[in-house]
Amino acid sequence: MGVTGMHVSQRDEFLGQIDRLAGSSVLHSSESLLKLLRYLAKQAIDHPGEPVKEYQIATEVFGRPSDFDPQSDSTIRVQAGRLRTKLAEYYTAEGADDSVLVELPKGSYHLEFHHRATRTAPLNGSESPLADAASLRSSRIWKTAAIMLAVLLAASLLGIVSLLATRKSAAISSVSVDQPVPEALRIFWKPFLSAPDEPWVIFSNAAFVGRPEVGLRYYNPAHDSKDVVFDHYTGVGEVLAIHNLDHVFEILHRQIRVKRGSLFSLDDAKNNDLIFVGSPSENLTLTEIPGTQDFLFQRLSSGPRKGDLAIVNVHPQPNEPKEVLASPSNSPLTEDYAVIALLPGLNSGRWVMILAGTTTFGTQGAVEYACRPGSVEELLLRLSVSKDGEAKPFEALLRVKVTRGVPVSTELVALRERAQ
């Protein structure tokens, strides 16, 4: 039933159910989802029947600026999807006996409240004894069927939730959002946890020429017109990297804002903490802001690998390579190299993190390295940490082993600390 013609007692009943949800083990640790749930509940109760807009949620709940664009920023849709999953999880476990059901229908931001169906007593004398017996048998059959369907539905939902949780946790590590935050992750990501606004994750989407159905190639500014640029694609490594980062920041009780590189501007860079996913060859915004100084992405101008993207070690130490490249393009990709760098932002108090490989798989390997407590701890042991428990600026060079398009291991090759 929708929330129309609501009495005071009904309002209190629905708000009480929201409090019950907020205190449940499913939702109590997710501040962002609780904010969304309470906001949608208030809108549904105070303004029954009125649709809630994505822009409205973005600006009023999550503090997005007035120029928020739902077409390029999927944060609100992602949060709504997470809330639907959590509500389903709650009602298959803790809330299995609750009398009030709270639902967020797909494709809508209008929260709905329903009472569980209850049996009504039969009317005395309205049926003959034979009819009463047949009605009772029919009622028992339907009741049994309904119970069986409910059990099957609950089992299916539990299976789906379990599968999603398993896949999500397996993507980066065994860390769970319900476990204490690993100290290594907290220290490593601390620069991006204290600002009032969530950090921006800028993923690369290179400029191509052509169309998917006829063939794509990289845009060449020397020969191609900007009018034919096609920038709607990104690598599989960047996609999985965003998934990993989202999970780690969920563990850290922090949200991230995701934006593709071609839509990013220098004005955005000045006032936000930034995490760049992908190399300057594809994440072109990196070429417009101060970046790494010790490990530079450059295309080779001579030699047998002329034109290939390399990472140049500007000041190689003993036993360190002067330049590193991924496996040649005419052979299976088994090795790539990547950079992780923590740098001061354009404005005081802002930070920039660069997670980039020479290929999409190197980028994925760099992000996975930065999301695993064990590898992050290895890195921190070789870095200076401030009295406030915060890592100081650095640049790190990684070697990434790849098998069938999957990064399987990552090794720290070289490390430089930067003056702040």
- Distances in Å between the Cα of 47 and the Cα atoms of 15, 105, 111, 203, 224 are 14, 17, 11, 38, 53
Q: Which residues pair with 313 in a beta bridge?
A: 295
Q: What are the structure tokens assigned to 285, written together? A: 């915004």
Give per-residue pLDDT as tens, 319-334: 899 999 999 988 999 9
- Low-confidence winner among 16-20, 253-257, 258-262, 378-382 (lowest mean pLDDT): 258-262
Q: Which residues contact 417 (CB under 8 A, 6 or more apart)?
A: 383, 384, 392, 393, 394
User: Quick one: 160 exposed, middle or buried, by C-beta within 10 A (0-12, 13-18, 19+)?
Assistant: middle
Is 93's pLDDT higher than 70?
A: yes
- Proportion of the chain above pLDDT 90, given as a percent: 32
Question: For position 178, what pLDDT does the model report?
Answer: 56
Strands 406-417 and 394-403, bridge-based pairing? antiparallel
Model pLDDT, residue 218: 67
Of 7-11, 63-67, 137-141, 162-166, minimum mean pLDDT range: 162-166
Region of poorest pLDDT, from 100-104, 261-265, 298-302, 367-371: 261-265
User: Pick the residue with more confidence: 399 or 227?
Assistant: 399
What residue spans in the chain does CATH classification 1.10.10 cover? 8-115
What does the angle CA 74 – CA 102 – CA 255 come to, to the nearest 5 degrees?
30
Read off the pLDDT of each residue in 122-142 and give the average, rounded to a whole number.
41
Buried b (16+ CB within 10 A) or exposed e, 374-412: ebbeebbeebeeeeeebbebbbbbbbbebeeeebeebee
**Band of residue 67 on the pLDDT scale cut at 50, 70, 90:** confident
CB 106 within 8 A of CB 84: yes
What is the tens place of the pLDDT at every residue in 3-42? 444 567 788 889 999 999 988 888 876 778 888 999 999 9
Give the C-alpha separation, 307 to 339, whole Å: 20
At 243, is the secondary structure helix, strand, or coil? helix
Q: pLDDT-based confidence at 192, cuts 50/70/90?
A: very high
Q: How far is CA 242 from each of CA 127, 174, 206, 335, 342, rounded to the nearest angstrom?
A: 64, 18, 16, 22, 18
Architecture of domain 8-115: Orthogonal Bundle (1.10)
Of the segments 20-24, 79-83, 136-140, 245-249, which one has the largest average pLDDT value?
245-249
Sign of CA dihedral 123, 129, 130, 133: positive
Indicate the DSSP class of residue 139. H
Mean of all residue pLDDT scores within the chain: 79
User: Stretch 252-280: mean pLDDT, rounded?
Assistant: 83
pLDDT at position 229 is 65
Q: What is the pLDDT of residue 216?
A: 67
